[in-house]
């Protein structure tokens, strides 16, 4: 779970949803480790420390991960980075698709990549890795549904096929949607994550983690599932803790 200090205690809300779902999980599901990735480079984040304590108190192995600052866009490199952006996205006319937004999303991607690589280093044989942001709900029955997904995987599936699962927002729930933007709620098998990290080496400037669903999935003709089991409430005008539709 990637997080940074915010005015509203969104991280605490997200952890409340997570623990509520965890209490309902099937016994076969085991969380090897939960990483809180601090997206602000050793800055004070007492809310994250409290969230880490809450998970440990409920029997979930967890820790806070700090990584070195994002180096791709240091001042000495910023000009060439911006030139590269404009050459790649010159045809995108949407107002909010600007260089500043692209830079922010690449920073987010950097921290998610670092967290994923740490997880694989410490738990190389784990079956699945799921990505969270610090402003998302988690449905109370999420782990029950994940058990159904896990049961559908076999040796052949894990070695030859990868089927990413995306926890969808209410407004996006549509079985015909081609892809959904963002990292939050993305589930990858071990094999799929390793393949993704290998692929990303050749395109480090991609648009956030969206490449998995909106580019890589299409490139290799890979199926994926969307399931409404979370809400990205950080974009809501009025944020409701413990939303009864999910809690």
pLDDT in tens, 104-155: 777 888 888 899 999 999 999 998 899 998 998 999 999 998 888 888 776 6
Q: What is the CA 8 to chain-centroid distance, rounded?
A: 20
- pLDDT, tens digit (0-9, with 9 covering 90-100), for 204-234: 666 566 666 666 667 777 666 777 888 888 7
Residue 97 tokens, joined: 């698709």
Rounded Cα distance between 30 and 27, Å, is: 7
**Per-residue confidence (pLDDT) for residue 18, from 0 to 100:** 95
**Per-residue confidence (pLDDT) for residue 17, from 0 to 100:** 95
What single-letter DSSP state applies at residue 170? G
Instruction: Provide the percentage of residues in the chain whose pLDDT is more than 70.
Output: 69
**Per-residue confidence (pLDDT) for residue 122, from 0 to 100:** 96
Domains parsed from the chain with CATH numbers? 2-235 (3.90.550.10)
Residue keyed to tokens 């939960």 = 34
Mean pLDDT of the region 7-16: 93
Backbone angles phi and psi of 44, in degrees to 5: -65, 135
Report the run of H or E that residue 225 belongs to, with start and end. Answer: strand 225-227
pLDDT-based confidence at residue 195 (cuts at 50, 70, 90) = confident
pLDDT-based confidence at residue 170 (cuts at 50, 70, 90) = low
Rounded Cα distance between 47 and 54, Å, is: 11
Mean pLDDT of the region 78-82: 68
- Decide if 112 contacts 197 (C-beta within 8 A): no
Q: What is the CA 130 to chain-centroid distance, rounded?
A: 6
Rg (Cα) of the chain, in Å, rounded? 18
pLDDT-based confidence at residue 48 (cuts at 50, 70, 90) = very high
């Amino acid at each position: 779970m990637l997080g940074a200090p915010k005015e509203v205690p969104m991280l605490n809300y997200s952890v409340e949803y997570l623990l509520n779902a965890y209490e309902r999980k099937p016994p076969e599901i085991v969380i090897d480790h939960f990483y809180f990735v601090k997206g602000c480079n050793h800055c004070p984040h007492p809310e994250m420390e409290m969230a880490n304590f809450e998970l440990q108190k409920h029997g979930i192995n967890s820790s806070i991960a700090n990584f070195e600052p994002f180096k791709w866009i240091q001042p000495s490199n910023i000009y060439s980075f911006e030139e590269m952006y404009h050459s790649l996205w010159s045809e995108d006319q949407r107002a909010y698709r600007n260089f500043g937004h692209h830079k922010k999303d690449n920073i987010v991607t950097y921290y998610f990549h670092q967290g994923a690589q740490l997880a694989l280093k410490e738990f190389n044989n784990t079956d699945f890795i799921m990505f969270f942001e610090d402003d998302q709900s988690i449905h109370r029955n999420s782990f029950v549904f994940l058990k159904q997904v896990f049961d559908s995987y076999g040796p052949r599936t894990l070695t030859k096929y990868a089927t990413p699962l995306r926890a969808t927002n209410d407004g996006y729930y549509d079985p015909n949607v081609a892809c959904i933007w963002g990292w939050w709620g993305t589930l990858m098998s071990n094999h799929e994550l390793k393949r993704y990290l290998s692929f990303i080496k050749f395109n480090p400037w991609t648009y956030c983690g969206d490449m998995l669903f909106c580019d890589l999935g299409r490139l290799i003709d890979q199926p994926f599932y969307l399931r409404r089991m979370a809400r990205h409430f950080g974009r809501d005008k009025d944020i409701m803790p413990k939303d009864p539709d999910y809690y």
